[in-house]
């Protein structure tokens, strides 16, 4: 990693499905991926994020916030 490289955290959600881990970046649930190990899953998620940043994949989900009475 070069000194100029920035780091960020990506939150993701995953579950075990048989022998696979199925996961997605929380901000982009439209792009799930699968893997045999957590390391492979995280590498796949990093690839998906890079493809989104590079414009190869276009995110289509939108996020909002609502205020509710408690």
pLDDT tens for 3-25 read 667 888 999 999 999 999 999 99
What is the C-alpha to C-alpha distance for residues 21 and 40, in angstroms, rounded to an integer?
Answer: 9
pLDDT at 59: 76
pLDDT at 2 over 70: no
Q: Span 45-49, mean pLDDT?
A: 96
Using CA atoms in the order 61, 12, 35, 37, what is the torsion angle rounded to 10 degrees? 180
pLDDT digits (tens, 9 = 90+) for 20-43: 999 999 999 999 999 999 999 999
What is the C-alpha to C-alpha distance for residues 62 and 41, in angstroms, rounded to an integer?
Answer: 24
Supply the mean pLDDT for the chain: 90
């Amino acid at each position: 990693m070069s000194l100029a490289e920035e780091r960020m955290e990506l939150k993701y959600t995953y579950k075990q499905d048989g022998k696979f881990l199925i996961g997605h970046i929380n901000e982009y649930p439209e792009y799930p991926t699968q893997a045999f190990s957590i390391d492979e899953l995280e590498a796949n998620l990093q690839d998906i994020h890079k493809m989104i940043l590079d414009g190869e994949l276009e995110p289509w989900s939108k996020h909002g916030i609502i205020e509710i009475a408690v």
